[in-house]
């Protein structure tokens, strides 16, 4: 009887993350703000074909609208990670959710390019906050014994939300923004009740045992507590190799999905001779659903293998994209989208897992911001370049050049992971 009771208690503690931990359901719930904001991030994607026709703007202008999202996101990443590590997750997340709600209102009544730019800018700022502070909050709630679970849930919350938004928009049209407002209000309630402290430097969140011997919690804390509030985000000394490996694969993957999101609807509408937002939304949803499924499929593999698989998937996906535009093939275009989604998902999961394993929570939001700066910078620049190139030389030639460049970057990323710094090899041994 005593043994049985002990087993029950042990099971309860395991479900709660150990003595003094929080229930696993809270780890899942903590990822909801990430999902809610990323629903907004891509909810407008299927509607751009309609706006492009009604307002009247070129493919180049369309990619500029997407780039304003990247500008807002990168600007947010310069400050949100540092502020979150210093003053806590909630003071960063709550204003970000307020901006997301404002973006919903602007999108719902947009009738000009300026309105679309403003809404995308606000969306980007909100996304920058959730990929730094929001993802770090999931790790804080999970605790040191569930870091891999935290990385998986935070990463999947991002790509699932990014795919759900376009699908809902394809079905509901501009009514999606009313539903999204409800989702964001729910996210506000989650953040208010989230079991995280006022800052991320609590002693209970010490650096993981597998950190490099030279890395200690104290230097990480002092680095986070000093220096400029607005700065290019970085990682503690000894974690640069993990950051480099993550960016090497995540950057080509998210750039590929960004291209599919920005020009994919126009390309698909041309191939199918339809402007239905449901078609474009469904393609985006399936792409990011594949990203979610791929992460759950590879979650038990070692991080290096996950990253290599991501690089291979992006490389093949861009080959399929080139073939799709040259052959005007819808099946190949869909295959390219699925492979791009898997590439981003695995690159993102591998990068977040490496940072969770090597960076103390007192610097984790800034480290997440650094990973996303490395990923979103090319994701903003290359699709814009491809958009204007497509206006100048045609969509087929522009997409071919873009796909070839991205194939090369993905191959280089795979080589970076294969070579890898010795410190990362020791941690995975």
User: DSSP string of 323-384?
Assistant: HHHHHT-HHHHHHHHHHHHHHHHHHHHHHHHHHHHHS-HHHHHHHHHHHHHHHHHHHHHHHH
Rounded distance, CA 131 to CA 254, Å?
14
Share of the chain above pLDDT 90, in %: 53
Query: By C-alpha distance, which of 11, 77, 44, 92 is closest to 367?
Result: 77
- The pLDDT assigned to 226 comes to 64
Average pLDDT for 323-336: 87
Rounded distance, CA 132 to CA 82, Å?
9
Mean pLDDT of the chain: 83
Average pLDDT for 351-363: 91
- The pLDDT assigned to 142 comes to 92
- The pLDDT assigned to 134 comes to 95
- The pLDDT assigned to 259 comes to 82
pLDDT band at 427 (very low <50, low <70, confident <90, very high): low
Contact predicate 407/319, CB 8 Å: yes
3-state DSSP assignment of residue 88: coil
Average pLDDT for 122-148: 94
- The pLDDT assigned to 6 comes to 42
Rounded distance, CA 235 to CA 249, Å?
18
- The pLDDT assigned to 3 comes to 46
- The pLDDT assigned to 220 comes to 39
- The pLDDT assigned to 1 comes to 44
Contact predicate 128/372, CB 8 Å: yes
pLDDT band at 388 (very low <50, low <70, confident <90, very high): confident
pLDDT band at 204 (very low <50, low <70, confident <90, very high): very low
pLDDT band at 383 (very low <50, low <70, confident <90, very high): confident
Residues 6 or more apart whose CB falls under 8 angstroms from that of 156 comprise: 31, 292, 295, 296, 345, 349
Average pLDDT for 144-157: 93
pLDDT band at 316 (very low <50, low <70, confident <90, very high): very high
Average pLDDT for 231-246: 91
pLDDT band at 104 (very low <50, low <70, confident <90, very high): very high
- The pLDDT assigned to 89 comes to 94
Does residue 258 or residue 138 have the better pLDDT? 138
- The pLDDT assigned to 352 comes to 94
- The pLDDT assigned to 426 comes to 58
- The pLDDT assigned to 94 comes to 97
Tell me the angle at which helices 217-225 and 361-393 cross, rounded to the nearest 10 degrees: 60
Check whether 143 has a pLDDT greater than 70. Answer: yes
Residues 6 or more apart whose CB falls under 8 angstroms from that of 167 comprise: 281, 282, 284, 285
3-state DSSP assignment of residue 19: coil
Does residue 227 or residue 223 have the better pLDDT? 227
Express each pLDDT in 152-185 by its tens digit: 999 999 999 999 998 898 889 889 999 999 999 9
Average pLDDT for 312-336: 90
Average pLDDT for 7-33: 64
Check whether 126 has a pLDDT greater than 70. Answer: yes
pLDDT band at 55 (very low <50, low <70, confident <90, very high): confident
Q: Which of 137-141, 352-356, 358-362 comes out lowest in average pLDDT?
A: 358-362
Check whether 86 has a pLDDT greater than 60. Answer: yes
Share of the chain above pLDDT 70, in %: 82
Average pLDDT for 112-126: 94
227 secondary structure, DSSP code: S
Average pLDDT for 33-47: 91
Check whether 420 has a pLDDT greater than 70. Answer: yes
Check whether 18 has a pLDDT greater than 50. Answer: no
Average pLDDT for 13-29: 65
pTM: predicted TM-score of the whole model, two decimal places: 0.81
Check whether 131 has a pLDDT greater than 50. Answer: yes
Check whether 84 has a pLDDT greater than 60. Answer: yes
- The pLDDT assigned to 5 comes to 40
Rounded distance, CA 100 to CA 180, Å?
9
């Amino acid at each position: 009887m005593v043994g049985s009771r002990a087993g029950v208690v042990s099971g309860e503690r395991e479900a709660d993350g150990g003595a003094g931990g929080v229930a696993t359901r809270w780890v899942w719930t903590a990822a909801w703000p990430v999902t809610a904001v990323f629903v907004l991030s891509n909810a407008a994607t299927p509607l751009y074909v309609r706006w492009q026709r009604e307002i009247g703007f070129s493919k180049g202008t369309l990619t500029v609208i997407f780039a304003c999202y990247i500008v807002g996101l990168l600007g947010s990443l310069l400050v949100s990670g540092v502020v979150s590590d210093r003053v806590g997750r909630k003071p960063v997340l709550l204003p970000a959710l307020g901006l997301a709600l404002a973006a919903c209102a602007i999108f719902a009544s947009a009738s000009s390019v300026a309105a679309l730019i403003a809404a995308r800018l606000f969306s980007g700022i909100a996304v920058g906050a959730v990929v730094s502070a929001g993802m770090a909050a999931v790790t804080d709630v999970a605790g040191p014994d569930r870091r891999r679970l935290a990385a998986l849930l935070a990463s999947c919350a991002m790509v699932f939300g990014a795919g759900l938004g376009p699908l809902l928009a394809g079905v509901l049209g501009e009514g999606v923004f009313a539903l999204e407002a409800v989702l964001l209000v729910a996210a506000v309630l989650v953040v208010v009740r989230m079991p995280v402290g006022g800052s991320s430097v609590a002693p209970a969140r010490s650096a993981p045992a597998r950190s490099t011997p030279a890395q200690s919690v104290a230097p990480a804390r002092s680095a986070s507590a000093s220096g400029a509030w607005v700065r290019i985000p970085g990682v503690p000394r000894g974690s640069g190799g993990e950051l480099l490996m993550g960016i090497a694969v995540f950057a080509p993957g998210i750039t590929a999905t960004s291209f599919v999101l920005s020009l994919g609807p126009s390309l698909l509408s041309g191939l199918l001779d339809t402007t239905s937002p449901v078609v474009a939304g469904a393609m985006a949803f399936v792409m990011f659903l594949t990203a979610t499924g791929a992460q759950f499929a590879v979650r038990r593999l070692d991080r290096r293998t996950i990253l290599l698989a991501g690089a291979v998937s992006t490389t093949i996906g861009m080959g399929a994209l080139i073939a799709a535009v040259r052959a005007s093939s819808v099946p190949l275009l869909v295959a390219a989208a699925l492979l791009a989604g898997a590439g981003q998902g695995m690159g993102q999961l591998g990068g977040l897992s490496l940072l969770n394993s090597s960076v103390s929570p007192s610097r984790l939001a800034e480290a997440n911001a650094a990973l996303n700066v490395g990923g979103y910078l090319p994701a903003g620049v290359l699709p814009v370049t491809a958009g204007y190139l497509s206006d100048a030389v045609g969509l087929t030639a522009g997409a071919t050049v873009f796909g070839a460049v991205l194939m090369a970057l993905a191959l280089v990323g795979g080589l970076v992971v294969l070579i890898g710094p010795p410190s990362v090899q020791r941690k995975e041994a």
